Chains A and B, each alone.
Chain A
Amino acid sequence: MTGYFSDIWRLRYFWLALVRNDLRRRYRGTIIGIGWSLLQPIAMTAVLCLIFGQIFHQNLREFAPYLLTGLTFWAFITAAVMQGCQSFFQGESYIRQHPAPLAIYPLRVVLGAGFHFLLGFAIALVFVWFLNGFGHLLAVLYLVPTFALLFVLSWSLAVCMGVANVVFQDSQHLIGIFMQMSFYLTPIMYDPHKVLDPSSRLLALFKYNPFATLLEMIRKPLLDGELPSLWALGASSAFTLLALCVAALALRCFEKRMIFYL
């Protein structure tokens, strides 16, 4: 196990260089380059604020940062999962040539998505600070371990999806649909407690949704200046651990045999 990670670490220049290349390629030939990454969530937030602010009569001061964090988070998770599906195909020519730990290919994807996540999150921080100020600076520091958890989770998910998709290429379509449905079952654009009837059964879905609990772990400290609930912490950690175990198991089964499926 430690051998596996030290192999990954030994090849760090390789996957870091690939991540850098992926990021550069994305903005090749554009004028504002990385600016698009900043502009995209802002534009999305602006238009949603305009519409939902009218529909739900939201206070924009609160709603804008709420939306921005939600959208950034979701963009990251979908990117990790959907690009994770392709990660081994993307690295196929390297896999065919040179034995290396397979987990570096999903890692490449997650780090690329993570970069955009951090950018988007930086904007969210500025928004919050500008509009409301931080409730509690210590609470904001609490985001650091949360991000570490999020990193482990997304890497694990990307590995799982990558393996699943290589074995069954139908997986990416199934996962695409699943992620689309999850989008509406995760409090990204609206707070279910504000729009749903308190007795609604749907609320349970939000409660047990690990993406929702992770999102709470990000929003509570940042937007409310409070520590997230123990439930959110526990559920998120448990889900991450589960994903990690499944990823480890998948790699254990397929690390060697992957080449036969590519």
Chain B
Amino acid sequence: MTLIKLEDVGLKFRVRRAGKAQLKDFLLHGLFRRSKQTSFEVQALEHIDLEVGEGDRLGIIGHNGAGKSTLLKLLAGVYPPTSGRRKVVGQIGALFDIALGFEVDANGWENIMYRGYLQGETPRSIREKIASIAEFSELGNFLNMPVRYYSSGMKVRLAFSIATSIAPDILIVDEILSAGDMAFQKKARERMKTLMSSALAVVVVSHDMKSLALMCDRVLWLDHGKTRMIGPAEEVIEAYTKQSDKGEKRQAA
């Protein structure tokens, strides 16, 4: 069964120029069509065709700024495609930007509730999970403290523990494996494994070619927002590594 289907998807961002006077510029631009452009466009994704079915483990690779994270966010429904069609069946669990979105004045327990509710939990269902979430985060008494005083590592621990407490149909992950300190990373990797094995489909972005080769059966190589290559993991990773090496040599020469 197809869970994710992208047909000729494109995503164009409108980026505002930094600075003030938007209304003025807009009026001038709108009225006289002469003044300078107030925003410019970035084609983040172009002509992406993608199908992810049940049992698929898809990896996404590419250089920084190639559009990997943007594609993930589009899959998760945070960004709408500005052209083409996106179809997704099933519940999505997304792990990206997880360290954002805390109510900093509330303590850890409360933030577990808020995040949980946003993920669709009810007071009853979260009550069953909250102990195991707290335990996994290993934050102990820190959970009674406002999140304002958390270190970034602690935030990641908490966020990861909450975000992975659900078992989604489609799991979307952005470089999560580098979360927290050594001990936690190991734990996180274990949990990711169980999550990935229980999810119907997994899409993961990573720069770690070794673990990608182990995790994924298919890999998509993005280059400047376009599909450079898609196919069996080893082939695409090999081609990508070769090209990166070439780039390095050229720079060295």
- B123 proximal to A (CB < 8 A): yes
User: Do A97 and B113 touch (CB < 8 A)?
Assistant: no
Structural contact, B114 and A14, CB atoms closer than 8 A: yes
Q: How far is the CA of A93 from the CA of B22 in the complex (A)?
A: 23
Q: Which residues of A contact B106 (CB under 8 A)?
A: 21, 24-25
Answer whether residue A130 sits at the interface, using C-beta atoms and an 8 A cutoff: no
CB distance from B22 to the nearest CB of A (A): 6
Q: Is the beta-carbon distance between A97 and B96 smaller than 8 angstroms?
A: yes
Majority SS of interface residues in chain B? loop
Asked if B97 and A257 make an inter-chain contact with CB atoms under 8 angstroms apart, the answer reads: no
Contact for A93 among B97, B105, B110, B121, CB less than 8 A: B97
> Is B247 part of the contact surface with A, judged by Cβ < 8 Å?
no
**Chain B residue total in the interface (Cβ 8 A):** 31
Q: Which of A1-32 contact B (CB under 8 A)?
A: 10-11, 13-14, 17-18, 21, 24-25, 28
Of B26, B79, B117, B122, which is within 8 A of A168 by CB? B26
Interface residues of A in 239-262 (CB under 8 A from B): 256-257, 259-260
Known A21-B103, A169-B22; judge A97-B98 contact (CB<8 A): yes
A residues adjacent to B (C-beta < 8 A): 10-11, 13-14, 17-18, 21, 24-25, 28, 93-100, 168-170, 256-257, 259-260
A10 neighbours in B (Cβ, 8 Å): 120
Is there an interface contact between A99 and B76, defined as CB atoms closer than 8 Å? yes
- A94 contacts B118, CB within 8 Å? yes
CA distance A113 to B79 in the complex (A): 31
- Output the nearest chain B residue to A14 by Cβ-Cβ distance: B117
Contacts of A28 in B (CB 8 A): 105
Query: Which residues does chain A contribute within 8 Å of B76, judged by CB atoms?
Result: 99
Q: What chain B residues lie within 8 Å of A11 (beta carbons)? A: 117-118, 120
The one of B14, B100, B114 that contacts A17, using a Cβ cutoff of 8 Å: B114
A260 to chain B minimum Cβ distance, whole angstroms, is 6
Q: Could you tell me if A21 and B80 are in contact, using CB atoms closer than 8 angstroms?
A: no
B101 at the interface (CB under 8 A from A): yes
- B79 with A13: CB separation less than 8 A: no
Q: Are B94 and A256 in contact (CB under 8 A)?
A: no
Chain A residue with minimal CB distance to B79? A259
Q: How many Å lie between the Cα of A171 and that of B13 in the bound state? A: 22
What residues on B are CB-neighbors of A98 within 8 Å? Answer: 78, 94, 118-119
8 Å CB contact of A25 from B13, B105, B121 = B105
A-B pairs with beta carbons under 8 Å apart, 29 shown:
A10-B120, A11-B117, A13-B123, A14-B114, A17-B114, A18-B114, A21-B105, A21-B106, A25-B106, A93-B100, A94-B118, A95-B78, A96-B97, A97-B94, A97-B96, A97-B97, A97-B98, A98-B94, A98-B118, A99-B76, A99-B77, A100-B118, A168-B22, A170-B23, A256-B80, A257-B80, A259-B79, A260-B13, A260-B14
